[in-house]
Structure 1
Amino acid sequence: MYAEFLSLTDFRSYSQLDIALEPGATVFVGPNGLGKTNIVEALGYLATMSSHRVSSDGPLIRFGQERAMVRARLRRGQQGTAVEMEINAGKSNRARINRANPVRARDALGICRTVLFAPEDLALVKGDPSSRRRFLDDLLVSLVPHHSATRSDYERVLKQRNALLKSARASGKFTDAHRSTLDVWNQHMAVAGARLLRARLDLLRQLEPHIARAYNDLTDGSKAAGARYRSSLQTTLSDDGSAESGVDANADDLSALTVDELTSRFMDAFQSQQAKEVERGLSLVGPHRDEVELMLGPAPAKGYASHGETWSMALSLRLASYYVFLADDETAGAAPILILDDVFAELDTHRRQRLADIVATAEQVLVTAAVAADVPDTLQGRQIKVAAGSVSVDE
C-alpha cells in the first residue's frame, strides 16, 4: 500500500497543504518545529483515528478553527481509494470514502494501514502499563476494525461502573440500590472485558515470535526478546501497576479460555474484589488494569534494559507490528505504509543501518529528519524540504 496524494486543511500548523507522494522512500527534511511531523501524523491519524503525540483531537485543529480535514488517495495493488476525515472540535468526527455520503469516522478504519515509529515509542518500554495497552489496542483496531467497537464498549461500561463505585464511596454506605445496579454493570463489564481480553491475548500470541525476530535482527542476538500478558484476573494490581494480591491463586494461563469462560472469571473476580472496589471507588479488575511485560532474557526490559536495548525493544515492537500486518494479508500491495518520524537522530550508527536495511524493502517508507545526513543511504530516496507552512520537492 502507498499514499499517492495527501491534503491537509487547518490541520496543526497548515492552513492548506497538498503533497503528491510516490512509492519507495521519501524523506521530509527541515528544522525542528516547522511541521515535518504534522504531515506524517495526519497520515497516521487516518489509519488509527488517533495521534501518536496527543491523547485528544483538539490540538490537531489549527488554532482558531472549528475543524480540520485530512484527505488522502491510497493505492493498494490495482485498487485506488480516496478517504477524507473531518476532525471536529466538540462533536463527532466524520469520514467520506470515495466521495460518498459522510459516515462515522470508525467506518474508515482499515482503509489506510500504517506502522509509525517515533521517539515517543520509548514509552512503550519505559512508560507505565497504559502505553503498552494502547499499543496493543491500536494495533488490534488497525488489524480488525470491528474491535474499535469492542474497545469503546468496554471504555463506556468502565466509565459507568467507576461512576457508580465513586458514588457509593462518597455516600459512605453501600446500599441495596448500589448493589443491584453494580450487579448489572458487572455483567456488562464482564462480557465487554472478556471480548477485549480475548482479542488482546490472540494478538499478543501473533506478535511474540515477531518481537523475537525483530530484536534479533536489530542487535547482535545475545539476548532473547519476548512479551507476556499479565491479567488482573490473575493478579490484582495496585494503582501504580505493581502486583498487590492474587485474585486467582493458581494464576493459570488464560490463553486457552473462551470468551464465555473469561466472562465467568470476571464475574468471580468482581465478587471477590467488591469490598476493595467500593472502598477505593474504582474498578480494580479488568483489561484497563492489565500489563504487557516486555522481557529481555530472564529480566523485564523496564528497569533493566540499557538505553540502547530500550530503543531496540521499542523498534522491535513496531517492526513486529509490521510483520503481523504482512502475515495478516499476503496479497500484493497490502503491506502497510512505514512512517519513521525523527527516529534516526535518536539511534547510533549501527542501529540506524540495521533498521534502514530492514524497512527499505517496504512499498512506501516516509521518513522525517532535521538533518538529511542522519538518514542512512539505504533510505535516501526522494527528498521534500519542509519550511514554515510549505513544502518543496528537491529535484
Structure 2
Amino acid sequence: MYVTHLSLADFRSYARAEVALEPGVTAFVGPNGQGKTNLVEAVGYLATLGSHRVSADAPLVRQGAERAVVRAAVRQGERQQLVELELNPGKANRARINRSAQVRPRDVLGIVRAVLFAPEDLALVKGDPGERRRFLDELVVARAPRMAGVRADYDRVLKQRNSLLKTAAMARRHGGRGADLSTLDVWDQHLARAGAELLSRRLELVAALGPVVNSAYERVAPGGGPVELEYRGVAGEGPTVETPPAELYERLLAALAEARRREVERGVTLVGPHRDELLLSLGGLPAKGYASHGESWSLALALRLASYELLRAEGSEPVLVLDDVFAELDARRRTRLAELVADAEQVLVTAAAEEDVPGELTGARFSVAEGLVTRDE
C-alpha cells in the first residue's frame, strides 16, 4: 500500500498543497518551521484520526480558516481509493471515501495504514503510562479497524461513569446524601464489556509484539538487549493472551465492585484499561529511569519498527514515516535504521538538511520552503 497523491486545504501552515507521491523513498527537505512535518502529519492523521504532535484538532486548522481538509489517493495492488477528512474544530468531523456520500470518520480507518516515528516518540519510553496505552490502542486499531468503535464506546461509558461518580463525591463532601448510584451497576457492565474486548486485544498485541520488538532492538543496537514487554492491569492477577474475553469481563466487574467505595470517595473510575500500563524493560531493568538517552531512542525506534513489521506480516504493508529522526541519531544508529527501511514499499522522510538523509535512502526529493513544496529535478 502507498499514497499516490496528498492534497491539503487549510491544514496547518498550508492554504493549499498538492503533492504527487510514488513508491520508494521520498524525502522532504528544508529549514525548520517551513512545513515538512505538516505534510507527514497529515498522512498520519488519515491513518489514526489523530496527530502525533497535538491532542486536539484545532491547531491543525490554518489560522483564520474554519476547517481543514486532508485528502489522499491510495493504491493497494490494482485497487485505488480516495479518502478525505474534513476537520471541524468544535463540531463533528466529516469523511468521504471515493467522493461518495458522507461516512463516519472512523470508517476510513484501514485505508491508509502508516507507522510514524518522530522525536515525540521518546515519550514511549520516558513518558507516562498514557503514552504507551495510546501506542497500544493505535496499533490495535491499525490491526483491526473495527476496534475504533470499541475504543469510542469505552471512552463514552467511562465519561458517563466518571460524571456520576464526581457528582456523588461532591455531594458527600458538602454533607448531602449523595447522588443516586442505582445506575452504577449498569455502567459497570457496559464498562466491563467494552473494557474486556479492548483488554483482550491489547494482551494479544503485546504477546505478538514482544519478540518482534526484541529482534528490532537487536538490529538497531546489537548486544544491548534483551527487551521485554509486560502488560500490567487491574483486572485481577496475571491475565494473559489465553484468558478468554468472558473471563476478563468477570474480572473487570469484580475489580469494579471491589474498588467502588474508593471510587465514590474520589469521584473517578479507578479500574479499567484506561489505568493499565505497558512495562518496558531493557537488559532486565525498567527502561524508564534506567535506560540511557541513546538506549531510550533505540527502544522507541524498535517499538515503531516492530509495529511496521507486524502490520506488514499481516497483509498490507504500511507507509513508513520518519519525521526528523535522523538528526537525533548517532552515525551508527542512523546507518542501521536506513538499512532496515530502505526496501519498504513507501518511506516518507523529513529532514532539515540533505546531509541528514542517509545515502542508503535514495529516491524522490522535495524542497519545502515558505509554504511551497517543490520536487527537485
What residue in structure 1 maps to residue 196 of structure 2? 194
What residue in structure 2 maps to residue 253 of structure 1? 239
Q: C-alpha separation between the residues in 2 aligned to 1:16 and 1:344?
A: 28
Aligned-residue offset at 1:45 = 0.6
1:179 correspondence with 2:161: no
Q: C-alpha separation between the residues in 2 aligned to 1:181 and 1:211?
A: 43
What residue in structure 1 maps to residue 334 of structure 2? 352
What residue in structure 2 maps to residue 300 of structure 1? 286
TM-score for the superposition, normalised by structure 1: 0.93
Q: C-alpha separation between the residues in 2 aligned to 1:290 and 1:4?
A: 39
> Which of 232, 241, 255 is matched with 2:234 structurally?
232
Is the partner of 2:180 in helix, strand or coil? helix
AA aligned opposite 1:213: S
1:288 correspondence with 2:270: no
Determine what percentage of the aligned residue pairs are the same residue. 57
Contact 2:171 2:177 in 1 (8 A): no
> Which of 204, 207, 210 is matched with 2:209 structurally?
207
Which structure 2 residues correspond to residues 381-392 of structure 1 after superposition, within 5 A? 381-392=363-374
Is the partner of 1:227 in helix, strand or coil? strand
> Which of 312, 321, 329 is matched with 2:307 structurally?
321
What residue in structure 2 maps to residue 377 of structure 1? 359
Deviations 1:15-59 (A, max 9, x none): 010011111111100000010000010011111110000001111
What residue in structure 2 maps to residue 92 of structure 1? 92
Which structure 2 residues correspond to residues 1-395 of structure 1 after superposition, within 5 A? 1-172=1-172, 178-234=180-236, 251-329=237-315, 334-395=316-377
Please tell me the root mean square deviation across aligned C-alpha atoms, in Å.
1.3
Deviations 1:67-86 (A, max 9, x none): 11111111111111111111
Q: C-alpha separation between the residues in 1 aligned to 2:190 and 2:238?
A: 24
Contact 2:164 2:181 in 1 (8 A): no
Deviations 1:106-151 (A, max 9, x none): 1111000001010000000000000000001011112211000110
Is the partner of 1:378 in helix, strand or coil? coil
Aligned pair in 2 of structure 1 residues 175, 209: CA closer, same or farther (>3 Å)?
Answer: farther
Aligned-residue offset at 1:174 = 8.7
Aligned-residue offset at 1:176 = 8.3
TM-score for the superposition, normalised by structure 2: 0.97
AA aligned opposite 1:157: V
Deviations 1:158-204 (A, max 9, x none): 11111111111100179686331211111111111111111111111
Q: C-alpha separation between the residues in 1 aligned to 2:97 and 2:241?
A: 37
Residue range with higher mean Cα deviation, 71-80 or 109-118: 71-80
Aligned residues: 375
AA aligned opposite 1:149: G
AA aligned opposite 1:336: P
Q: C-alpha separation between the residues in 1 aligned to 2:259 and 2:203?
A: 23
